[in-house]
Each structure stands twice: as C-alpha cells, then as structure tokens.
Amino acid sequence: MQAVLNTSAAPSAPARKGKGAGFLLLSPAVFILLVWSIVPLVMTLWYSLQNYNLVDPTLHGFAGINNYWYLLTDPDFLQSLLNTLLLVAGVLVISVGGGTLLAVLYDQDFFGRGIARVLVISPFFVMPTVSALLWKNLMLHPIYGVYSAMMRAVGLTPIDWLSQYPLATVMMIVSWEWLPFAVLILLTAVQSLDGEQKEAARMDGAGPIARFRYIILPHLSRAISVVVMIETIYLLTIFAEISVTTAGGPGVASSNLAFLIYSRALLQFDVGGASAGGVIAIVIANIVAAFLVRAVARNLEV
Amino acid sequence: MAFKVNCGKQIAVTLLGWGVALWVFFPIFWMFLTGFKSEVQAVSTPPQLFFKPTLSSYAEVFERANYWHFTINTVLVSVIATGVALALAVPAAYSMAFMPSKRTRSTLLWMLSTRMLPSVGVLVPIYLLARNAHLLDTVLGLAIVDMLTNLPIVIWMLFTFFREVPAPILEAGRMDGASRWQEMTMVLLPLALPGIASTALLSLILCWNEAFWSLNLTSSNAAPLTAFIASFSSPEGLFFGKLSAASTLAVAPILVFGWFSQKQLVRGLTFGAVK
C-alpha cells in the first residue's frame, strides 16, 4: 500500500526552478475559476438585497433582508432543507452500502461475470431526465407500469408510488442512478486487494464476515471516500429527477432546496427572492463541503 | 488455486450476480423494447414481453423532432467543453504536479469547492450574463458553462495522473534540451495519455447528461438531447412508445460509449485513490 503523500513533500515532484513558470501555467485555470465563482456570487448577493421582479417593474429598490426573511420564515423552506439532507443521506447510504456488497459479489468468479457487470453499471450512463421518465412511466405508473402489473399478478393492489411516497420514490430512482457508480469504483478497489492476504486470513480461520470486516472494508476506505465526495457534489443539487417525476409535490413533499428555489422564485420571475434562496443554498452547500472536503481529502492522495 | 469448489455456493453466487444485474438493467431493457411497440401495445395490461415489433414510434419521433439537430448540439457542446477544459487543465495540473508550492493543496481543495456551488444559486446572474453577451441559446454559451462546471474535476483528475509520472523522466527530457513546452507536450502528454483519455471520457459523459443548464440556457437553436427528451415527456398524454424510442435514441450513443470505455473511466474517476 502506497503511503498517503503530502504535496509539499512529494518525492515524485521535486520543485523545479522558476516559480514564475508554474504560476504562469496555473493562472489561466485559477483566474477563470475565480471569475466563475466570484462574479455570479457577488451578483447573486446584490440581487438578493433588491426588490427585483422581471414581470413587475414597478417593484424595485433596496429590499434589505426582506427576501431572506420571506424565505426563512416559510415552513416549506425548512421542509425542503430537510428533504435535501434526507436525499443526500439516503442515496449515500443505499449506494455506498449496496455498492460495497455488490462489489464483493461481482468480485467472485461466476459464469458471465463480465456481462453482468456491464449491465449493473449501465444506469450511470443514462441521462437523469431519461431515468426519471423511465421509472415514472414505464416502471412505476399505477396502471401501465411493469411494477404495478407484477403487483397485480401476485394479488396485490398497485401503489401510486410517486404520489404516496414521493420522497422515498425519488430517492430510489436517484439511487438507481448512483448505485452503479459506487459499484464501478468499489469493484475496482476490491479487485486491487491482494489475493494472498485474503487467503492468509482464510487460513487463519477468519470467516467470510470477519474477512469482510477486517480486510475488505479497511481496504475500501479510500475508494468509499471518493464515492461519497463525488456523489455528494451531485446529490446536493438534484434537479432533473424531481422536476420530471413529481415537480416537487405533492405540496413540497419531494422538493429539495434547489427545486424549491427554482419553482418558487424563478417561475414567478422573482429575481430578488430567487437570489436570496440561491445565497442560502450556497451557504448550506459550503457548510457540507467544508466538512466533506476536509474529511475526504485526508483520504485522498493530495 | 486448488481448493474444493463449493458447488452450492457457486450456484448461489451465479444466480445472485445475474439476478441483481438483470433487475438493475431491466428498466433500460424495457425502454429499448417499448420503443419497438405501437402506442396500443405499449400500454397493454399486462405488459407484453413478446410482441410484433414495429418501427412506427421511431418514425413518428423522427418526423416530430429533428433528432440530428439535438444530437449535433449535444456532441458539439460536449466536445467543445471537454476540449477547452483540457486545454486549461493540462498546464494547471502540470504546474501543480511538477512545480508544487505551499499553496498547491489548498488551491486544489478550493477548486473542488467551486464545484459545490449549487447551479440554482447562480442561475439568475448566469442567465443575465449569458443574455447580455448574446450567448443565450447558443452552443458556445452552453459549452462554456459546462466547461466551467467540470473544470475543477478535470484538473483534479489530471493532477493525480500526472503525479504518477516519474519526475526523473521529465528531468531527462530537459537534460536533452527540451523546453518546458516540449517537456509537457512531447514527454508528459504521451506518458499520461491513458489518464487524459479517461478524464476526457468522464467530461464527455457529464456534458452529455447535463440537464440543469441545458434546460435553462437553451430553447431551440442550441437545445441538446436533454431538451429533446423533455419535449417528449408531454403531460397531456401517455405516449410510452414514442417516449421510449426518443429516450433510446438519446442515451444509446453515450451508453455504448460507456460500455466500451468503462475500464478507462474507472481509472479516472478514482482520482488515483484506487490502485
């Protein structure tokens, strides 16, 4: 196992002379990312303090914290915030937990393993709008859906999943998209595990559960960090799946913050309100990111 | 290894492995199948697994919407965004990997944190900026935004790949009189080509499937495949056949692409954390 390296002391990277060149090569990317992250942010902050509605030009001027107050006192806001965190946590648990188990499963040798693997990772390549439509119409539709037909076949009454359990169903659809990603990464990690080590443990009398707990799981910790980090980035801002399946409803039962801001403020052309929501979303994302990046980066080779 | 093969366990693993695989893949398979059904067959209860295939849904999709227009837009956006991102990221990653400073680590983390900026939070300013720059509903405008959202991940991935290239090789090149530019293009790039390829692959896939900016920054001229699909999800009626045919058309290229490149992709996605 290669030691986790520190950039400052990386043996493979002796500092070349000429800091100027390094700076020169790095600066275009840094500059463009700086502009990209600061200009819209400052504009959002500015708009969030204004009364600014695209369809009502009579309403203008400084709003102070009114836009924020309006949003933060909205009970829907708290519900959406909770939904956002539930979605991230739920999908992470399902995809990392399931991904780990499936990675161990697909590490076993069996007939047609290569094809089975390709089938399992396929959903990752399907665009979110399509997966949402697929599940909503072809799979879970209460009358024509395949799942409903199966339930009827065994004598059960089909469930209208998206209206009865909207958040859980969206969570399931999103998990279907991200579980393959976890499998893809974790399977590679499991395969890189030294076979001899597993054999030695077996010789010493370790059962399958002990081998999983004390050999496979520790070996996977870095790969799991990668999965958690990348997935969180995307899960915080789930949009297409919600927009296509439930449009956030019923009520705000399946709205996350991104979708609430979009539907409340933007569809009403309320630039001020949308911007205030945007600022709040950015603050929350940064809180999550601060925890996450620090926790995960320690596990990455930086 | 000559261990006693546990036959029962082998069968269980095979069944479980295939069972899970078929269950996970089933919705995609069903979409593919439904695309070859007529609208009546598509909503028959119980759903039919065996039926007389027809191309009528595909014919109607092609008649109703200009599939190639959307596909070309998607390909253009993905390729431009990926190309520009690589052009910016290669020098940056080279600089950080081979000329690290005290601030390299925090720079990398900061770059990654810009990716956490929720799109919806900056939608209004980006929309207004794009409008003022006449980039709304243009391939270039969408490509720029996609490029910027992927740039941090592209830089990070390239950085980890470059770090695997032994510095003495670059040193040797320089001893032989290679300029920094030659060192980067003629020594480093060929060595890191697999890594660059997997980075490009991931960027292409992310651009291809990007929905938020595609739906909000384009309307007709530059509308990519994500918008094409949205136009077939009409709430006024259930046209499963056409929806499935259109969906199949939208995902097939990237799905096949993904199948062939999965090994490459994994290398890139793991940020070098999985050896």
ipTM of the complex, rounded to two decimals: 0.83
Residues from chain A contacting residue B89 (CB–CB below 8 Å):
29
Mean pLDDT of chain A: 81
The answer to whether the beta carbons of residues B187 and B107 sit under 8 Å apart is no
The answer to whether the beta carbons of residues A198 and A211 sit under 8 Å apart is yes
Which pLDDT score, from 0 to 100, does residue A16 have? 46
d(CA A207, CA A139): 39
Residues from chain A contacting residue B20 (CB–CB below 8 Å):
102, 105, 116, 120
Evaluate whether residue B158 is within a structural domain.
yes
Expressed as residue numbers, the domain containing A78 is 65-297
Residue B76's pLDDT band (cuts 50, 70, 90): very high
Evaluate whether residue A142 is within a structural domain.
yes
Average pLDDT over residues B215-242: 79
Residue in chain B nearest A111 by alpha carbon? B14
Evaluate whether residue A49 is within a structural domain.
no
Residue in chain B nearest A151 by alpha carbon? B46
pLDDT digits (tens, 9 = 90+) for B247-271: 999 999 999 888 888 777 776 666 5
B116, A233: Cβ pair inside 8 Å?
A: yes
Residues from chain A contacting residue B104 (CB–CB below 8 Å):
7-8
DSSP state, A61?
E
Residue A7's pLDDT band (cuts 50, 70, 90): very low
Instruction: Give the rounded percent of residues in chain A with a pLDDT score beyond 70.
Output: 89
pLDDT at B1 over 70: no
* CATH number of the domain residue A230 falls in: 1.10.3720.10
Evaluate whether residue B52 is within a structural domain.
no
CA distance A123 to chain B (A): 7
Pick B85 or A300 by higher pLDDT.
B85
pLDDT digits (tens, 9 = 90+) for A225-240: 878 888 888 888 888 8
A285, B262: Cβ pair inside 8 Å?
A: no
Residue A2's pLDDT band (cuts 50, 70, 90): very low
Evaluate whether residue B67 is within a structural domain.
no
Residue A14's pLDDT band (cuts 50, 70, 90): very low
Which pLDDT score, from 0 to 100, does residue A10 have? 40
Evaluate whether residue B247 is within a structural domain.
yes
Nearest CA among B134, B92, B94 for reference residue A31? B92
Burial of B118 (0-12, 13-18, 19+ CB in 10 A): buried
Looking up tokens 């119980």 gives B46
* CATH number of the domain residue B139 falls in: 1.10.3720.10
d(CA A249, CA A190): 40
Burial of B68 (0-12, 13-18, 19+ CB in 10 A): exposed
Q: Is A50 helix (H, G, I), strand (E, B) or coil?
A: strand
Evaluate whether residue A155 is within a structural domain.
yes
Nearest to A122 among B112, B225, B255 (CB): B255
pLDDT digits (tens, 9 = 90+) for A263-284: 876 677 778 888 888 888 888 8
Q: Considering its fold, how many domains does chain A have in total?
A: 1
A49 touches chain B (CB under 8 A): no
pLDDT at A141 over 80: yes
CA distance B148 to chain A (A): 7
A279 touches chain B (CB under 8 A): yes
C-alpha dist (Å) from residue A255 to A85, A244, A251, B22, B226: 11, 12, 8, 31, 21
Evaluate whether residue A39 is within a structural domain.
no
Evaluate whether residue B42 is within a structural domain.
no
The helix (run of H) or strand (run of E) holding residue A152 is helix A146-153
B107, A7: Cβ pair inside 8 Å?
A: no
Evaluate whether residue B262 is within a structural domain.
yes
Which pLDDT score, from 0 to 100, does residue A171 have? 94
Q: Considering its fold, how many domains does chain B have in total?
A: 1
Nearest CA among A262, A232, A290, A225 for reference residue A85? A232
DSSP state, A62?
E
Evaluate whether residue B102 is within a structural domain.
yes
pLDDT at A6 over 60: no
Evaluate whether residue A99 is within a structural domain.
yes
Instruction: Give the rounded percent of residues in chain B with a pLDDT score beyond 90.
Output: 22
pLDDT at A3 over 60: no
Evaluate whether residue A115 is within a structural domain.
yes
Expressed as residue numbers, the domain containing B125 is 73-269
